[in-house]
Structure 1
Amino acid sequence: MAKKQLIMEKALELFAKQGFEATSVQQITDHCGISKGAFYLSFKSKDELIVALIDHFMRQFTADIDFVVSDKNEEDLLYNFYYTAFQSFSKHSDFAKLLMKEPAQSFNEELFSKLHNYNKSLEKVILSMIERLYGDLSKDLKYDLSFCIKGFMSTYSELYLLYKTPIDMDLLSQSLVEKTNLLAKNMTITFIPDELIEIIDQPLIEDTSSEKIVEVIEKNIEDMEDSIEKESLILLKQELLEPALHPAIVKGLLSNIQHHPHCKWAAYLLRKHFEIK
């Protein structure tokens, strides 16, 4: 296991028990069995480590949801959306629990900005899904419906995060599909005002330029051993710098990296850049 990954996993164990503020760098290094010097070779500070953990969780979650919405046909789109969301909550339950219980004052401006950007990314994915599913039916109510869907995700995720009873993910997803369809077909009153829609529709405050994507890819390449995913990343980086490949080849390279845990965010950014559906 790479040292950076070890630090993130061991730090998460301590954060889950004690919270961000109560956990010191010394406690993290003791728990990892490494020196402070080794810690600071990977992270400049505890705040940078926390940002890395939030990035990891939110990038995985956002990329998984976006891939499902982009890849699935309308027939099972909503079911797969909910199933993937709750599967991700379950997979990353320790960190999700930590975010739920951590007091807001623990988050600095950078963390708030990142969480805001990820939330806006998720909103855009949900709005895209609503438009695909309901067409003109959703024209005036899609923003209200998107908030309802996010509410379902947040509320029902508590079943995974606060209770230890087994959850039938298939039944839960089917139930929420039914509820969402009922809302979409029967809502008549718009609540979200035009002024708020203008704010929601503003572009993300995030650098998604080719240079930034290359930076993300290079970091992934550096952290990976030789594999088909690594070779695919190298080719995709070259395509960003000097476009030459047929779109079908680019799509194939993206499919090679899509499910690798270290490459999901790179795949998400590349799909947006190359406009791959």
Structure 2
Amino acid sequence: MVKKLLIMEKALELFAKQGFEATSVQQITDYCGISKGAFYLSFKSKEELILELIDHFMKQFISDIDYSVKNTNKDDLLSAFFYATYQSFQEHSNFAKILIQEQAHSLSEEFLLRMRDYDHKLDKAILTMIERVYGPKIETIKYDLIYSIKGFVNNYSGLILFNNLPVDVDLLVRSLVEKTNILAQHMTIPFVSPEISTLLLRSKDEKVSKEQLIELLEQKLNELDESIEKESLSLLKQQLLEPSFSPAIVKGLLENIRNHPHCKWISYLLRDFFEI
């Protein structure tokens, strides 16, 4: 596991400098100081390595955004969303940079499918946010507002990442909140119709099954040492098998695991399953 993480960290540095396509497995192994054989014990190919990097970053990002959207007071929700977004970009700036670069010319169908799935999850989180913040008054323009917000995030992220600009995050967040409020209050000509939005948002809208969650929980339980996170995972598995805890207890157990780097995604999936 340690060697796999080392390869991911070092490969990410190279990808940030050169891009996915221009970086070879040989360059990665030379940079890591390992043999090709050691690389292939961890990853079947460079493409598999790239997909694992995507999963690692996007699962952390989506989980943090989803939690913020569902647990922040609605008066502070827009600010919390933009803060969480840019904090994540700053923490993972190398990956954020190459992700923005590479989405325009994806390496494979699998890359596209992964990104569409995460993009869909982000759409759902933003939709939940704007419905909480603005209520029914934005019903006719809410789907356009989703893509406007995503446009703000992508464009300002690119501006910051590729120009090495000093960032006053407070000012940036206030500016984006103001822009979003202006659009929500004054937009009158929607482009994305309910019919189009249904097509865009319905794909891959299936919850993970209880059986799949139990399998994931068992994997995590085997990975973790004794800790409050492991104990909480065990109790959540028990809740799936034989429900007995109140929603408040389930929410507390999810709080115990949500910040652990190896538990963020399972906490996201469980929040969705328990509708918390």
Q: TM-score, with normalisation over the residues of structure 1?
A: 0.92
Alignment of 1:201-240 (within 5 A): 201-204=201-204, 208-240=208-240
Contact preservation (8 Å) 1:126, 1:146: yes
Code of the residue aligned with 1:70 in structure 2: it is K
Distance apart, 1:133 and its partner CA: 1.0
Paired positions, count: 276
2:107 aligned with 1:107, yes or no?
yes
Contact preservation (8 Å) 2:207, 2:272: no
Moved more, 252-261 or 102-111: 102-111
Secondary structure of 1:232's aligned partner: helix
- Once residues 96 and 195 of structure 1 are traced to their aligned partners in structure 2, the CA distance between those partners, rounded to angstroms, is 32
Q: Which residue of 2 aligns with 1:84?
A: 84
Secondary structure of 1:155's aligned partner: helix
Q: Which residue of 1 aligns with 2:40?
A: 40
Code of the residue aligned with 1:155 in structure 2: it is N
Alignment of 1:125-136 (within 5 A): 125-136=125-136
Contact preservation (8 Å) 1:65, 1:85: yes
Moved more, 167-176 or 95-104: 95-104
Contact preservation (8 Å) 2:123, 2:146: yes
- Once residues 93 and 261 of structure 1 are traced to their aligned partners in structure 2, the CA distance between those partners, rounded to angstroms, is 17
Q: Which residue of 1 aligns with 2:15?
A: 15
- Once residues 138 and 255 of structure 2 are traced to their aligned partners in structure 1, the CA distance between those partners, rounded to angstroms, is 31
Q: Quick one: structure 1 residues 197 and 158, their matched pair in 2 at CA, closer, same or farther if it must change by over 3 Å? A: same
Distance apart, 1:105 and its partner CA: 4.6
- Once residues 244 and 35 of structure 1 are traced to their aligned partners in structure 2, the CA distance between those partners, rounded to angstroms, is 51
Unaligned runs of 5+ in 2: none
- Once residues 43 and 241 of structure 1 are traced to their aligned partners in structure 2, the CA distance between those partners, rounded to angstroms, is 34
Contact preservation (8 Å) 2:207, 2:273: no
- Once residues 26 and 63 of structure 1 are traced to their aligned partners in structure 2, the CA distance between those partners, rounded to angstroms, is 34
Distance apart, 1:159 and its partner CA: 3.3
Alignment of 1:251-266 (within 5 A): 251-266=251-266
- Once residues 39 and 206 of structure 1 are traced to their aligned partners in structure 2, the CA distance between those partners, rounded to angstroms, is 35
- Once residues 255 and 14 of structure 2 are traced to their aligned partners in structure 1, the CA distance between those partners, rounded to angstroms, is 35
2:168 aligned with 1:168, yes or no?
yes
Unaligned runs of 5+ in 1: none
Q: Quick one: structure 1 residues 214 and 104, their matched pair in 2 at CA, closer, same or farther if it must change by over 3 Å? A: farther
- Once residues 83 and 53 of structure 1 are traced to their aligned partners in structure 2, the CA distance between those partners, rounded to angstroms, is 23
Distance apart, 1:106 and its partner CA: 4.4
Moved more, 97-106 or 259-268: 97-106
Alignment of 1:87-98 (within 5 A): 87-98=87-98
Q: Residues 8-38 of structure 1, C-alpha deviation per residue, up to 9 Å, x if partnerless? A: 1111112222222232333323322333343
After superposition, the CA RMSD in angstroms is 2.0
Code of the residue aligned with 2:183 in structure 1: it is L
- Once residues 41 and 252 of structure 1 are traced to their aligned partners in structure 2, the CA distance between those partners, rounded to angstroms, is 39
Question: Sequence identity of aligned pairs in percent?
Answer: 59
- Once residues 18 and 134 of structure 1 are traced to their aligned partners in structure 2, the CA distance between those partners, rounded to angstroms, is 43
Distance apart, 1:78 and its partner CA: 0.7
Contact preservation (8 Å) 2:100, 2:158: no
Contact preservation (8 Å) 1:69, 1:81: yes
Q: Quick one: structure 1 residues 205 and 187, their matched pair in 2 at CA, closer, same or farther if it must change by over 3 Å? A: closer
Code of the residue aligned with 1:240 in structure 2: it is L
